[in-house]
Chain A
Amino acid sequence: MTHRTTLLRFTRLTLYAAIILNGIFCLAIALGLGVSLVWGDHFTALLLSPESLSGITKTTTGTRCLMLVGLLSAGATQFILHVLKRMAEPLNSDDPFVAANAARLRAIGWALVGLQVLDFPMMAIRHNFPGLGNAVPDTGLSLGGWLAVLLVFVLARIFDNGTAMRDYLQETI
């Protein structure tokens, strides 16, 4: 039980740190997008290497698209981290088979679907805005990512059944 408590405490600390770091990342992208909308090509010129500056207007558009997709991804990640933090809280971790945790897992599942779907605009950005170079992550269809989505939805169903069984057992004398 001590090992489990230590593991839970470490998990919570890791989640807190991830939420803070991802939050800063979200803020940075949002600020960058805002500045790009105001400064346009000047801001793009600051971000990219001199070789990438031909066709800068198109590159600016690509940068904004990249930031928008990045913001959506970071936002979905922030949501997942917050939900995980709620699940790892002491009250919830002592008795995980509650209806709320099944709902939280489903919410994480949908957020993961969103993250996987965002791979498509990212691939489109990489294809249509070559001037962005390595600024665009080299994403592609991820079998592992889609398997994770399936796994989370299956787990949510298991939690649903586990909650129903637990509730039934509580009323069994």
Chain B
Amino acid sequence: MQIIVTLDDMLTRKGMTLTELSDAVDLTLANLSILKTGKAKAIRFSTLMAICDVLDCQPGDILTFSREGGAQE
């Protein structure tokens, strides 16, 4: 089971780079990379809100639940 982060797809659709998103949501590029690569253990609602606001999308547009794959804690 895992949560798949499809931030890359959304950025491509919006024509935005990760660096531009990082500046817009006031998150470091390193943290956004951790999120993008699926290495984040948790995401704050405030972060999710900021990303959805900038990308004009819903949380479900960048987060997908999958029963396959992923390491269990």
Contact = CB atoms under 8 A, between A and B. Distances in A.
Interface of A: 168, 171-173
19 contacts: A168-B42, A171-B39, A171-B40, A171-B41, A171-B42, A172-B40, A172-B41, A172-B42, A172-B43, A173-B27, A173-B31, A173-B32, A173-B34, A173-B35, A173-B40, A173-B42, A173-B43, A173-B44, A173-B47
Contacts of A172: 40-44
Interface string B17-36: 00000000001000110110
Interface of B: 27, 31-32, 34-35, 39-44, 47
Most buried by B among A168, A171, A173: A173
Given A171-B39, A173-B44, 13 more contacts: A168-B41, A168-B42, A171-B34, A171-B42, A172-B40, A172-B42, A172-B44, A173-B31, A173-B32, A173-B34, A173-B42, A173-B43, A173-B47
Contacts of B39: 171
Contacts of A171: 34, 39-42
Contacts of B47: 173
Contacts of A168: 41-42
B36 to A, nearest CB: 10
A172 B45 CA distance: 11
Contacts of B41: 168, 171-172
A172 B31 CA distance: 9
Contacts of B43: 172-173
B56 to A, nearest CB: 20
